[in-house]
Amino acid sequence: MAANNAPSGFEKEQIFGMAEKELEYRVDLFNKMTQTCFNKCVDNRYKESELNMGENSCIDRCVSKYWHVTNLIGQLLGTGKPPM
């Protein structure tokens, strides 16, 4: 009976394909967020080897807002109605 509940080869391929697409989406999202926040917050002329306090704060806010908006969009697309 347990064998009947096991996914078939086709179902396994579908599950693997969906997981692969999800990973690609997450990597793409991370890369876009990194590039966007870096371009916005870090000066083109590197003066120091580490980020200064202003750049750190800017990146922190940028990443926070990026994730917040991404989650809101996901909720909106998932439910079909705007979040309250």
The pLDDT of residue 63 is: 96
User: Would you say the pTM of this structure is higher than 0.85?
Assistant: no
- pLDDT tens per residue across span 13-61: 888 888 899 899 999 999 999 999 999 999 888 788 898 999 999 999 9
Looking at residue 71, its amino acid is N
The pLDDT of residue 49 is: 85
pLDDT for 65 beyond 70: yes
Query: Burial of 63 by CB count in 10 Å (0-12 exposed, 13-18 middle, 19+ buried)?
Result: middle
The pLDDT of residue 75 is: 87
Q: What is the separation of C-alpha 80 from the centre of its chain, rounded to a whole number of angstroms?
A: 20
